[in-house]
Amino acid sequence: MKLLLFTKEYPPHIYGGAGVHVKYLSRELAKLISVEVRCFGDQQEKKEHFSIRGFSEKGLVLDSPPQLKSPLDAAWRGIQFNAAGIDADLVHCHTWYTYLGGIMAKQLYGIPLIITVHSLEPLRPWKQEQLGGGYDYSCWIEQQALTLADAVIAVSHETKRDILEHFPISEDRVFVIHNGIDLNEYSKNQERSCLEKYGINSDLPYVLFVGRITRQKGIVHLVHAIKHMDPGFQIVLCAGAPDTPEIALEMEKAVAQAQEDRPGIIWISTMVEHHDIIALYSGAALFVCPSIYEPFGIINLEAMACGVPVVASAVGGIKEVVVDGVTGFLVPLDQKKGGSDILDPENFILTLAARVNQLMSDSSLRASMGAAGRLRVEHHFSWEMIAKKTERLYTHILKESKNVH
């Protein structure tokens, strides 16, 4: 069997959870089957059963408004993916940026199309702010691709419910396969030298956030919650890559106000090297994930793998990762059905701060929850296990495809 993987992100160009997912999944799948990755960039690598090929924007001339650059660029790369020729048995797409390429591969080359849903466009209406009319396109191409796909992989049971609610797809075509974690790479280490580099006092405990500055991650709600947090610990915000200038400015103002009200707030807005991220997780007393939409949330797995308890919003796939009262605390998020607005943001902010304060005042509870989190990750979320489930799905889809033809 030969698999063709389409992805926007691939190392060294990764900025989100989907890119992390493809990095590790492709590596594990290549131990089982032949894998070719086509991605956005300049990557070039070829091994016996594993090759990576980047496609650039070279040749694309854009006179469109800036908001449309991203979707038009994605369409261009999808055409390039197909123009290079395809000899694979099936194509597997990740994120809407690659969906046009996947549709073309299915139609032009007659191979089955698999799609992993990392998030759904109808549940991210704030993207309109970033993409303008490009958001209408991303919604449309997602609708076409999911409807046409031979199999859709949901990264959580909650995501599967969202797919079935928003798209005309039969349930027997949607399969739940969770995200995973590299258990050797993500484990608690004693590396503390990087803390000083980022202005963190190694003698004081700290609460950690890691994520992009986007409405989805709830970062501004977290910053507003800081004024309700006890003063005896630091808060480290590892947050960059703002979606828009507007949310970047909102974040700057909120952090500046929080720093006026309370000492010990460290904002790391620059790109942090991978080994430093693991050291930041390992040194944290507590990890906080205030997302308002999260199909899965790999960051919670990363923290738990490093033995750190988690306080997270009770949304999406987070509820399948963090066990409330065992590996951390889940904070209810009262939202309008199908929307992104929190009905009572002040209550969410207060409850988030209260749970953080509760755990930060109880070191023995933090230790037991951190240990439970590591055990949960070991038992349920290894990439080796997830690759085997994915390979079995490919075999099933290929068999079905041959029967049809």
Higher pLDDT among residues 78 and 336, named by residue: 78
pLDDT score at 54 = 97
**Could you give the dihedral angle defined by the CA atoms of residues 14, 252, 348 and 20, in that order, rounded to the nearest 10 degrees?**
0
The tens digit of pLDDT for each residue in 159-202 reads: 999 999 999 999 999 999 999 999 999 999 877 788 988 999 99
Condensed to tens digits (0 to 9), the pLDDT of residues 270-290 reads: 888 888 999 999 999 999 999
Residue range 277-306: average pLDDT? 94
Average pLDDT of the chain, as a whole number? 92
Tokens of residue 380, six digits: 């349920």
Amino acid at 17: G
Q: How far apart are CA 227 and CA 346, in angstroms?
A: 12
In terms of DSSP H, where are the helices of 214-344? 219-225, 245-261, 274-283, 298-305, 318-321
**Which architecture, in CATH terms, is 2-180+382-404?**
3-Layer(aba) Sandwich (3.40)
Per-residue pLDDT at 200: 95
pLDDT above 90: percentage of residues in the chain: 74
The pLDDT of residue 386 is above 70: yes
Q: What is the reported pTM?
A: 0.82
Other C-beta atoms lying within 10 Å of the C-beta of residue 352: 27
- Is residue 208 pLDDT above 60, yes or no? yes
Q: What is the pLDDT of residue 16?
A: 78
Residue 357 confidence (pLDDT): 98
pLDDT for residue 334 is more than 80: no
Token match 């798209």: residue?
167
CA distance 361 to 309: 13
Radius of gyration (C-alpha) of the chain in whole angstroms: 21
> What pLDDT sits at residue 402?
81
C-alpha torsion sign, points 109, 70, 271, 230? negative
Distance CA 280, CA 361 (A): 20
Inform me whether the pLDDT recorded for 59 exceeds 90: no
Token pair listed for 166 = 């928003």
| 193-380 shares the fold of 2-180+382-404 | yes
Question: In which band, very low, low, confident or very high, does the pLDDT at 362 lie, cut at 50, 70 and 90?
Answer: very high
Burial class (CB in 10 A: 0-12, 13-18, 19+), 214: buried
Residue range 138-163, pLDDT digits in tens: 999 999 999 999 999 999 999 999 99
Residue extents of the structural domains in the chain = 2-180+382-404, 193-380
Model confidence at 323, pLDDT cuts 50, 70, 90, reads very high
Determine the Cα–Cα distance for residues 72 and 86; give it in Å rounded to an integer: 22
| Structure confidence at residue 340 (pLDDT) | 53
Compute φ and ψ for 7, nearest 5 degrees.
-150, 145
Examine the pLDDT at 352 and tell me if it is beyond 90: yes
- β-strand pairing of 206-212 with 174-176: unpaired
Q: Are 289 and 311 in contact (CB under 8 A)?
A: yes
103-124 in b/e form (b: 16+ CB < 10 A) is bbbbeeeebbbbbbbbbbbebb
**What is residue 210's predicted lDDT score, i.e. its pLDDT?**
94
Classify 161 as helix, strand or coil.
helix
Q: How far apart are alpha carbons 332 and 340 in whole angstroms?
A: 14
Closest alpha carbon to 96 in 212, 3, 7 = 7
The domain defined by 193-380 folds into Rossmann fold (3.40.50)
Q: What integer pLDDT is reported at residue 404 of this predicted model?
A: 67
Task: Give the whole-angstrom CA distance, residue 331 versus residue 319.
Answer: 10
- The percentage of the chain sitting over the pLDDT mark of 70, rounded to a whole number, equals 97
